[in-house]
Structure 1
Amino acid sequence: MKHPNILAASSAAALAMGAMVTPAFCQPEYGRKDGGGNEPDIKQLSRDLKSATDKVKEFAEDAKGRLEKGEALSQKAKEAADEALVKFNELSATMTEIEQKLARRGGGEDTERKSMGQRFVEDEGVKGFMQRPPSKGGVSVEVKAITSVTTDTAGAAGDLIVPDRQAGIVAAPDRRMTVRDLITPGRTNSNAIQYVQETGFVNSAAAVAEGLLKPESSMKFDLKTVPVATIAHWVQASKQILADAPMLASYIDGRLRYGLAYAEELQLLKGDGTGSNLLGLIPQATAYAPQGGLVATTMIDQLRYAMLQAVLAEYPATGHVLNPIDWARIETSKDEMGRYIIGDAADGAPPRLWRLPVVETPAMTVDKFLTGAFKLAAQLFDREDANVEISTEDRDNFVKNMVTIRGEQRTGLAVYRPEAIIYGDFGNVA
């Protein structure tokens, strides 16, 4: 256990070095500057605190010197030390309390917030009006309204409002790609597809009597060559934004791939074969022409007769391709009693007609239809699957810290049997 003199001296020395001593109680004894109890006399409190600090330092130095000489501290000296420490603690606690109040209030009385009522009764115009004899008239006090505007004007607090920023990017809706699934898939390692197509056949087969000359049949073949088309596009971005927003890189990747699929669907259906375009299904399809003298009176009839046309060409149809508008027109068809012909409006019906699936795509022109044996009629060849690459090799990219992001694919389409695909017009749009 430490000696009481040593304990007192070390406490005083600790105070001299700036350590905090927690007081047992605090009773501020300071008056107010305005006599009304609004503000403590901080200047006087600061002077008293400095004086108490000096006394503690003085005692600490004296105690340290005595202890080094081996002299004991007198009872009177210890009582004086205790008194100095208590006084110092009280003053220090009072000063801390005042500083905390000012900090919570945001400063001194110049920055104190006042209610509208306080500002009204303290206004000089109101005071003067109240001191005059009763008379008619009025007085106004200007009060700056606090608003949500962000301009540099009095009362503008709009910059304090933080928007509720939602994560991610709200993208445009993606079209569901369907035409590729109708066609037989395939792959190639070349930039062109060649195939031999039978373009004519005269079948003279017949029953022949013994010893007679057998009839001759003839066939005609044609060598077809279709190119492998490149479908591509690109965007440019800075290296900084891709590094600072990793999500953006994957978003760009997805959008570029979607763009390739979108262009591919249009090429598969409508490519005109000029330049680097594919020669699509519609330009090679057989025109709709009802067989057997049948006359279609509804859209549903037309699709059934298109199936018949493919069957008569020895290619049983496997599906229909329609614009969503035309399929909606068919689904809402009613009989003479107002009942829906296709399915039930409450539960809907699978997109099927005449036992075949109906493929809806906005890529199909409104009021047109495509019916046929798609798997037998055509084949899709992928030379290079859809891919996205990033490059900084361009000189301008390197200098400007930019990157080029490119999406690309290479695809070929071979239509082996044009007669297996029937293309027609519903006749609802002039």
Structure 2
Amino acid sequence: MADADEIKAGELAKVLKEKQEAVNKAVDEVKGLGEELKGKLAKGDKVTEELKNDVDKLLTEVNGLKSQVLDMEQAQARNPVTPQGKQTLGSMVVKSEQFKNCANISQGDKLRIPINTKELGGSDNTSYSAGALVQPHVVSTVTLPEQRLMVRDLLTPGNTDRDMIIVPREEFFDNKADIVPEGRIKPESHLNFVQETVPVVTIAHWLKATRQILSDASGLQSMIDGRLRYGLKLKEEQQLLNGAGGGAQITGLIPNATKFQNKSNVKDFTIIDQLRLAMLQVVLSGYSATGHVLNPVQWAEIEMAKDDIGRYVIGNPQGQAIPTLWGQPVVATPSMEQGEFLTGAFKMGAQIFDRWDMGINIAFNNEDDFVRNMVTILCEERLALAIYRKDAFVTGKLQGVQSTQPAPPTPPNS
């Protein structure tokens, strides 16, 4: 049904375009005849009945075409068809050429299905949902909520084909730029880098499943999207934030971030104020903050903060927009410790390097799997995180109060 609707929508769009082109052509002809008519009248020439009839005929044709275009535009607005839905990891697997051959898999065989995550249109289009093989007809007046942001979404993406990355980490910049009078020696600035070797790590896990699931596209897609991909991305986010480095783990952002310091004269501040002060600290390091990472508990407290007459400060119970604070996106994730935060110049201060995009391996691991009709489904990726400037990131405990709403007055003694 979805395919038929898409064909009808495509045909309607094509006819609508043709009608609009016909309207434009007819309008041009009317303008030409109008100029001819205007010129004859200006010169006092006699206007023939034929010319008048041609103008009237074209005007009638233009009005009719415009009416048809308006009807088609209204029909399209009343009954739109959802464009092809975003692909998920699971849907890409079950549609791949490799998967179509997996029914013939034998003992000892392994089937690797590489996935280009760029075709997913983002790092987390599924919102941990299995998606659907058939896209439903959806009326466009219904607005779907935005997908939850992840830490990966804040960082600059990159690729590598090496197992190690040499990162030039900036330690300090001594800016000596100045006005130079004629004939004077120009000042020298100093920019100091240290080289740091960042390993590419593998994140992986697997599940056992019955062989029958290979013939159940929806079931396999649900398992991949709802469990394998979710688990992999959850561990990736934990590592990007908290990884201890040292070769076995990703070098995480929080262990390398600068501790929060109040660089202003403001002494009393809320947790909302504190995140603005953290942005200030990033700015003073020479960068501009591009995001915040919070625990969902603290983000809920911020959204529910009220002013002294009970109005929400920033929260909107009916809102569905991507969370933002001080003009920058907020990632609310359980991977962040409660009561702590990370604010930083994510785009400039660090970068993800993907060695392997997420891929799926399907195999019979041993004879026991073969006789029990069980298969192993492995999901893995390889990546590294390069941190270019440590003081581009600020972390610490949220010290301010979470609400500006005053305590209720004490009732009088009876």
With structure 2 as the length reference, what TM-score do the two structures score?
0.55
CA contact (8 A) 2:294 2:330 kept: yes
Which has the higher relative contact order, 1 or 2, with Cα contacts under 8 A spaced 6 or more apart? 2
Residue 422 to residue 296, structure 1, CA distance change in 2 (3 Å):
farther
Kindly provide the amino acid, as one letter, of the partner of residue 403 in structure 1.
V
Residues in 1 aligned to 2:316 and 2:368: alpha-carbon distance in whole angstroms: 61
Matched residues in 2 for 1:182 and 1:347: separation?
22
> How far does residue 329 in structure 1 lie from its aligned partner after superposition?
1.1
Equivalent of 1:268, from 219, 240, 243? 240
Q: 8 Å contact 2:340–2:398 — kept in the other structure?
A: yes
Equivalent residue, structure 2, for 1:251 = 222
Question: Residues of 2 paired with 1:271 and 1:279: CA distance?
Answer: 5
Equivalent-residue separation in structure 2 for 1:354 and 1:246 (angstroms): 44
Aligned partner of 1:339: which letter?
R
Partner of 2:58: none
Trace 1:73-222 onto structure 2 (pairs within 5 A). Answer: 176=148, 178-204=150-176, 217-222=189-194
The answer as to whether partners of 1:229 and 1:410 remain within 8 angstroms in 2 is yes
Mapped to 1, the partners of 2:319 and 2:191 lie a distance apart of 53
1:375 corresponds to 2:347? yes
Shift of the 402–372 alpha-carbon distance from structure 1 to 2, 3 Å rule, reads: same
Aligned CA distance change for structure 1 residues 196 and 332 (closer, same or farther; 3 Å): same
Distance 2:187 2:316 in 1: 58
RMSD: 3.1
- Mapping 1:373-412, distance limit 5 Å: 373-398=345-370, 400-412=372-384
1:297 aligns with 2:296: no
Q: Whole-Å Cα distance in 1 between the matches of residues 210 and 323 of structure 2?
A: 46
Is it true that 1:230 corresponds to 2:202 in the alignment? yes
Q: Any idea what the Cα deviations from partners look like across 1:308-327, whole Å, max 9, x if unmatched? A: 11111121111222222112
Name the counterpart of 2:255. Answer: 283
1:48-63 equivalent positions in 2, closer than 5 A: none
Letter of the 1:279 partner, please give it: T
Contact 1:296–1:302 under 8 Å retained in 2: no
Return the alpha-carbon distance in structure 2 between the equivalents of residues 252 and 348 of structure 1.
28
Cα distance change, pair 273–212 in 1 and its aligned pair in 2 (3 A) = same
Alignment correspondent of 2:304: 332
Cα-to-partner distance string for 1:336-392 (whole Å, 9 max, x where unaligned): 333332255566886322222222222222211111211111111111111111112
In 2, Cα distance between equivalents of 1:344 and 1:259: 31
Contact 1:367–1:428 (CA under 8 A) maintained in structure 2: no
Q: Which runs of no fewer than 5 residues in structure 2 stay unpaired?
A: 1-127, 131-146, 402-414
- Shift in CA distance, 296/423, structure 1 to aligned 2, threshold 3 Å: farther
Kindly provide the amino acid, as one letter, of the partner of residue 295 in structure 2: N
Cα distance change on mapping 1:416 and 1:234 into 2, 3 Å: same
Q: Which amino acid aligns with 2:398?
A: F
Which protein shows a greater Rg?
A: 1
Identity across matched positions, percent:
49
Residue 338 (structure 2) pairs with residue 366 (structure 1)? yes
CA distance in 1, matches of 2:347, 2:188: 32
Counterpart-to-counterpart distance in 1, 2:149 and 2:330:
14
Query: How big is the shift at 1:216?
Result: 5.4
Once residues 253 and 368 of structure 1 are traced to their aligned partners in structure 2, the CA distance between those partners, rounded to angstroms, is 32
Using the TM superposition, give the Cα deviation of residue 258 of structure 1 relative to its aligned residue in structure 2, in angstroms: 1.9
State the alpha-carbon separation in 1 of the partners of residues 221 and 259 from structure 2. 44
Q: CA deviation at 1:396?
A: 4.0
- For 1:426, the aligned partner's letter is L
Q: Distance in 2 between matches of 1:287 and 1:196?
A: 22
The size of the alignment, in residue pairs, is 258
CA distance in 2, matches of 1:251, 1:212: 71
**8 Å CA contact 1:386, 1:408 repeated in 2:** yes
Q: Secondary structure at the match of 2:274?
A: helix
Give the letter aligned to residue 378 of structure 1. Answer: A
Counterpart Cα distance in 1 of 2:350 and 2:295: 21
* Contact preservation (8 Å) 1:286, 1:418: yes
For structure 1, which segment, 230-239 or 242-251, has the greater mean C-alpha deviation from structure 2 after superposition?
242-251
CA positional deviation for 1:300: 1.2
Aligned to 2:293: 321
Query: SS at 1:184's partner residue?
Result: coil
